[in-house]
Structure 1
Amino acid sequence: MHVITNFGAVADGKTVNTLAIQAAVDACSAAGGGMVLVPPGTFVTGTVWLRSGVELHLEKGAVLLGSPNLDDYNADDAFPQNMRSEREQWNGAHLILAVEVHDVALTGSGCIDGNGPAFFEPEAPPIEPRFGWSQGIRHAKDKERLRPGQMVMFCECTGVRVSGLTLRNACCWTCLFYGCEDVIATGLQINNPPDAANTDGIDIDCCRQVVVSDCLVCTGDDAITLRANPVRLKDKMRVCEDVVITNCVLDTSICAFRIGVGSGVIRHAAISNIVIRRATTVFLLQSAYREPSTGVAISDLAIANIQAHLVAFPFRIVSGAPSATAQIENIRVNGFYGSCYGGCDFAGSALTRPRHLRFSHVDLTVGPCPLDPAPAAYPDTFLRFRQVDDVRFDHFQVTWRDQHPAWRQAMSIEDATVILEDTCDVPEPPSVASKA
């Protein structure tokens, strides 16, 4: 075992310990692998590179705190797969980084803190409230050097385990698995401010054989994402497949699950036993995130036993940008219960149409809306179908509590094939039923 204090690390919350921690990791790797121990205390650090065969273990009370100085982090060109986003105001710096290594672990009951307050604007600018969103968003304090990117990043690694830790105050996505295989993420607590931009919880991009379980994710952007963006990977044939996500509690300002982004393939994923405490959208399946893109092919996704409390939009399954040609198909939902104050969108385009969508044992209560959006922003239809094929519902129940007069109809179907079995009950909204 290699203890970082034996290599000169000081837990005073001020000393930058990057070299000492890296020395411990490198010595452990040179010795054939093993555990690097972070004892209780607050250790400030810049980028720490994990090595093959090394487990970085944080004891209870141990905190790795991101340095407030960008010079203590890796350069944007430190590895070819790295990324940055001027548009979203984050650079290619990372706090914990593993690139092309195997059998690597990040464990314990301690905390990794990205020191977000050092890099974000202190206050969010005010915005005009809109449906599903009423708060401003904080971006980078430094508009030239931006803020650090993904706090924890594993890139083209095999045999990855992340467990037990608290991950908080990320400056961007909290934990990214990019082009990895054989990944386990379990027992994590992720806590980011609700108004901190782009602070996703767990991002799974072009990975296979992934299990995420027993995590609590509270964050300012998407809680969990499945992505397929292989453009920067060395192995550009990687797809996102064989992913299991189960027994998690999610609290998010944007999407509980965003599935899409990129131009690759997402297939064979199972999501089950999830509690959504807060979200704008629970499931967003979107082929093309933005123009120009052919989009992500999304198929064979099984969703079961979801509980959601007063979210805006339960489901949005859409092709996205008009340039999308990739197919969304074979999506099955069995067991979704909760309350919402918006509707569900199912929409294709002239180039691609979502198809073979199945919804069973869904029970939704609509309203009341907790916000006070402008009347023009209020939805008028609960279930909207446009340019989709073979959509089937059974045991689908809608109960209305929202009396808002903006609601005009329960469903609209335009150039779509939709079947509701006799077991379904989707009544018109109260404002319409009262006029009948």
Structure 2
Amino acid sequence: MNINKTILALSIFLTTLISCKEQTAKKANFFDEADKIIESINIKQFNNLTLNIKDLGAVADAKTLNTSIINAAIDSCNAAGGGKVIIPPGDFLTGPIVLKSNVNLHLEEGANVLFSKNYKEYLPVVHTSYEGQELMNYSPLIYAYKQKNIAITGKGVFNGQASNKNWWPWAGKDTYGYIKGTPNQKDSINLPRLWEMSNNNTPVSERIFGEGYQLRPTFIEPFECENVLIQGVTITNAPFWVIHPIKSNYVRVDGVTVNSHGPNNDGCDPEYSKNVHITNCTFNTGDDCIAIKSGRNNDGRVVNIPSENIVVENCEMKDGHGGVVLGSEISAGVRNVYVRNCNMDSPNLDRAIRIKTNTLRGGFVENVFVKNIKVGQVKEALLRINTYYGTYANQEGKFIPTIKNIYLEDITVENSGKYGILIKGRKQSPVENVSLTNVHIKNAKTPISVENSEPLVFKNSSINGKKY
């Protein structure tokens, strides 16, 4: 009997040892997978053809509307097999720019593209999306629909010219110029109408908004595109979300500066997208710096395309609601997100890493790997996971979200604000497998606040000097 017990104990020990080695080996390979994703994004080289919009009659006086000239240049370049459309130094006013396959829209240093403040310039309506639900709405400021091999490059500036006098008041917030009693996005004809259409599976072609409604356009939106490069440019004063790749594959955002503090001015929002590389960027935003999404409520479940294989590295996050955020429009799920070598620091940055959903959104989050992050100051927490998120009323439903496999490693936080770690899961579906290795958090008023989660796994970590 004793011999049998000894054999059983040895067997358990060996099994555990092998399992630990396998987990260690697997962990070592986490970011090997990130490197493979990066390698898979092969942006096509563009043809040598160049078209300079000034040579075609564009006027850089910040007054003359150049929409037709810019888009004609893009069309001609596309028809000739592709190449580069150049916007030279100067102040060029335009309406929406429509990008086509095999065209690189290139802003030379000193180019300043000013987007019209006239809402009617963004008509007719196009197939786009608003907060995770598809509709026919004002055109994004730069729009590509079902195109391949497209680029936006250079050292110039895209200025959406949104302000408290145009676009932003539609958010319905006093701080952005809203005047009580005037129309805003929360009115029954706007978001509530769109939610109802989504719940009723109304065809997108019949979800017509645009003129007479108050749903703002995104800034740059590749919609169902493949092989997308956005590189080097500066983007400011956006009406709504800034960079929004939706249903797109093989996307690289490299060396972009987003400096836009309007309502819902997320920096980059990949949605229903995969194989996305966001690198060397600076985000100084009025909302989340990076927010990974996959549709809202019924729309997300119908589309059912998870966002996956997303790598964020070498970025700087300044102001914003969150550094890297997953949600809240997350109904189709998010998996395989890699974040490394980033700096996050601002008294106006609320959280470093955030996952947000609720039982109307549902969805899943799995396999999130965060490594080598330096956090100076955040307001609320290094990590916040919230399954009770709710911007609008009545956010309870029957779709229980699942969140698992969240790994944080080699992170320092100088000032973590209210909390070190803040997790609020659900009894029906506790948060699973949150692991912190070599994570050191200072100056958290409350070190840990956790509800409905498996016990956190700490390895060589500390909060407020206390080892965990």
TM-score range normalised by the length of the shorter chain: 0.7 to 0.9
Aligned-pair distance for 1:336?
A: 1.6
In structure 1, the residue matched to 2:269 is: 203
In structure 2, the residue matched to 1:67 is: 116
Aligned-pair distance for 1:229?
A: 1.3
List per-residue Cα deviations over 1:214-250 (Å, max 9, x = no partner): 0011011000011111866999342211111000001
Pair 1:101–1:24, CA change in 2 (3 A): same
In structure 2, the residue matched to 1:219 is: 285
**Aligned partner of 1:119 among 160, 166, 169:** 166
SS across alignment from 2:303: coil
**Aligned partner of 2:144 among 88, 98, 105:** 98
Instruction: State the TM-score, normalizing by the size of structure 2.
Output: 0.74
Q: Is the 1:112–1:167 Cα contact (8 Å) retained in structure 2?
A: yes
2-structure distance, mates of 1:337, 1:327: 27
Residue 411 of structure 2 is aligned to residue 331 of structure 1: no
SS across alignment from 2:293: strand
In structure 2, the residue matched to 1:370 is: none
**Aligned partner of 2:457 among 381, 389, 392:** 392
Q: Is the 1:217–1:249 Cα contact (8 Å) retained in structure 2?
A: yes
How many residue pairs are counted as aligned between the two chains? 372
Pair 1:303–1:175, CA change in 2 (3 A): same
When structure 1 is superposed on structure 2, of 156-165 and 316-325 the one drifting more is 316-325
Pair 1:228–1:183, CA change in 2 (3 A): same
2-structure distance, mates of 1:148, 1:126: 14
Residue 96 of structure 2 is aligned to residue 47 of structure 1: yes
Q: Is the 1:250–1:256 Cα contact (8 Å) retained in structure 2?
A: yes
Q: Is the 1:59–1:108 Cα contact (8 Å) retained in structure 2?
A: yes
2-structure distance, mates of 1:181, 1:54: 17
**Aligned partner of 1:272 among 340, 343, 357:** 340
Residue 351 of structure 2 is aligned to residue 281 of structure 1: yes
Aligned-pair distance for 1:139?
A: 5.4
Aligned-pair distance for 1:37?
A: 0.7
In structure 2, the residue matched to 1:425 is: 467
Aligned-pair distance for 1:92?
A: 3.5
Pair 1:296–1:235, CA change in 2 (3 A): closer
Aligned-pair distance for 1:182?
A: 0.5
Q: Is the 2:168–2:239 Cα contact (8 Å) retained in structure 1?
A: no
Q: Is the 2:294–2:300 Cα contact (8 Å) retained in structure 1?
A: no
Q: Is the 1:60–1:109 Cα contact (8 Å) retained in structure 2?
A: yes
1-structure distance, mates of 2:58, 2:215: 25
**Aligned partner of 2:240 among 156, 172, 177:** 172
Aligned-pair distance for 1:178?
A: 0.6
Q: Is the 1:43–1:63 Cα contact (8 Å) retained in structure 2?
A: yes
2-structure distance, mates of 1:287, 1:107: 34
In structure 2, the residue matched to 1:255 is: 322
Aligned-pair distance for 1:145?
A: 4.6
List per-residue Cα deviations over 1:121-167 (Å, max 9, x = no partner): 69x9999xxxxxxxx45559974653642111111100000001011
When structure 1 is superposed on structure 2, of 164-173 and 138-147 the one drifting more is 138-147
1-structure distance, mates of 2:67, 2:455: 55
Aligned-pair distance for 1:3?
A: 1.3
Pair 1:184–1:234, CA change in 2 (3 A): farther
Amino acid at match of 2:244: L
Pair 1:362–1:233, CA change in 2 (3 A): closer
List per-residue Cα deviations over 1:93-147 (Å, max 9, x = no partner): 311001110000000111111111251569x9999xxxxxxxx455599746536
Amino acid at match of 1:359: L
SS across alignment from 1:320: coil
Residue 227 of structure 2 is aligned to residue 159 of structure 1: yes
Amino acid at match of 2:451: R
SS across alignment from 2:325: strand
Amino acid at match of 2:318: D
2-structure distance, mates of 1:363, 1:233: 37
In structure 1, the residue matched to 2:427 is: 350
Pair 1:235–1:147, CA change in 2 (3 A): closer
Pair 1:126–1:56, CA change in 2 (3 A): closer
Q: Is the 1:138–1:197 Cα contact (8 Å) retained in structure 2?
A: no
Pair 1:159–1:232, CA change in 2 (3 A): farther
SS across alignment from 1:10: coil
1-structure distance, mates of 2:233, 2:400: 40
SS across alignment from 2:429: coil
Q: Is the 1:55–1:104 Cα contact (8 Å) retained in structure 2?
A: yes
List per-residue Cα deviations over 1:244-303 (Å, max 9, x = no partner): 100000112311122022311211111001111221111111233xx623x221111100
Amino acid at match of 2:407: R
- Please, which runs of 5 or more residues in structure 1 have no aligned partner? 128-135, 368-378, 401-423, 427-436
SS across alignment from 1:177: coil
Q: How does 1:300-339 map to 2 (within 5 A)?
A: 300-312=367-379, 313-320=381-388, 322-323=396-397, 324-338=399-413, 339=415
Structural RMSD (CA): 2.8
List per-residue Cα deviations over 1:30-83 (Å, max 9, x = no partner): 11111111111111111111001111001011111110101111333x22xx13
SS across alignment from 2:317: strand
When structure 1 is superposed on structure 2, of 144-153 and 98-107 the one drifting more is 144-153
Aligned-pair distance for 1:395?
A: 1.7
- Please, which runs of 5 or more residues in structure 2 have no aligned partner? 1-49, 185-211, 390-395
1-structure distance, mates of 2:124, 2:288: 26
Structure ranking higher in helix proportion: 2
Instruction: State the TM-score, normalizing by the size of structure 1.
Output: 0.79
2-structure distance, mates of 1:299, 1:65: 40
Q: Is the 2:130–2:215 Cα contact (8 Å) retained in structure 1?
A: no
